[in-house]
Amino acid sequence: MNGAPAQPRRLVLAVDGGNSKTDVAVVADDGEVLATARSGPFLPQSAGVAAAVDVVERAVADAVRHVLPARGRPPFDHVAAYLAGADLPVEEEALAREFAARGFAADVVVRNDTFALLRAGASGPWGVAVVCGAGINAVGVSPTGEVARFPALGRISGDWGGGQVVGEDALWHAARAEDGRGPATVLVDVLRAHFGVRTVEELVLDLHFGRVPHGRLHELAPGVLAAAAGGDAAALGLVERLAGEVTTMARVCLRRLGLLEQPAEVVLGGGVLRARDALLTSLLERGFAAAAPYAEMVVADVPPIVGAALNGLDRLGAGEAARSRLRARYAEGVPA
């Protein structure tokens, strides 16, 4: 007598949409990663919602082509999309409508990509995450599901930090040092060497006339960290301020959620924090010891797409074995 036919596995489409790239993963409810793909930057605020989701659709088509060439796009049971540019609830809702309208799945969750970082780095679904890459942002989730977040719209919403702002301020110090309005700083040499210019003024004019994209200033962050480690006063001031901003954002999230007086994980991610710079790390450790002594700093060791997929598995009610299988696959390296 034959047994009952096996139930088909349910599928999660996990999406990590970033300012520089978009990653997708097709994950079964037992944690197996069936396919992955990468496409271009996810930029809904500048390119528009439809164009941004086009980027995801291209990545999905590429991923599915490798695992289900005859079926085309599989019938996803859930879309877990964690996206840069989804900074406000109204933006999350607009993107979710676009995903649903294209038939990706009936069940779609869209959230800011910082929530994926939190799930990727924390031992469970709650805690605080601070991302510091080109920009800076933080979110917190309590054990009962309350959320703390910021608008994260740049300087107009009170933000300071991330590689872009650090680069802009490094240029400010270098320009003033070169023309005599400010004290000497090795940031002048850092900037000249990185961009291959003879003077800081040359770079200023290149930026002004569009010969160098303004967004490239975030590339200066490693040089600023190195200059700070060497004792340069201007660079050290920037790194100290950055550590203070990371600590402050985490502390405010913890306080809002009533977690300041109990152990809680604070996940750190983004290129600037993942680099584990010795000086910045020591400043963060001292800052947390003073401002949030119960917080446990955790640097995420897997990419945010893992957090998106874990949230998707949570949504499907998958067990710990599935989550462990997913993490193990990414710990081995980029799947598929």
Would the pLDDT of 312 be above 60?
yes
Mean pLDDT, to the nearest integer, of 127-156?
95
Would the pLDDT of 138 be above 50?
yes
Q: What is the pLDDT of residue 75?
A: 74
Mean pLDDT, to the nearest integer, of 169-177?
98
| CA dist., res. 285 & res. 98, Å (int) | 42
Amino acid at 136: I
Q: Using 50, 70 and 90 to split pLDDT, how confident is the model at 228?
A: very high
Across the chain, mean pLDDT equals 93
| CA dist., res. 19 & res. 14, Å (int) | 17
- Give the pTM: 0.90
Mean pLDDT, to the nearest integer, of 117-124?
95
Alpha-carbon Rg for the chain in angstroms: 22
Are 333 and 142 in contact by the 8 Å Cβ rule? The answer is no
Q: What is the pLDDT of residue 8?
A: 78
Would the pLDDT of 254 be above 70?
yes
The per-residue pLDDT for range 258-308, each reduced to its tens digit, is: 999 999 999 999 999 999 999 999 999 999 999 999 999 999 989 999 999
Closest CA to 158 of 128, 137, 127, 129: 137
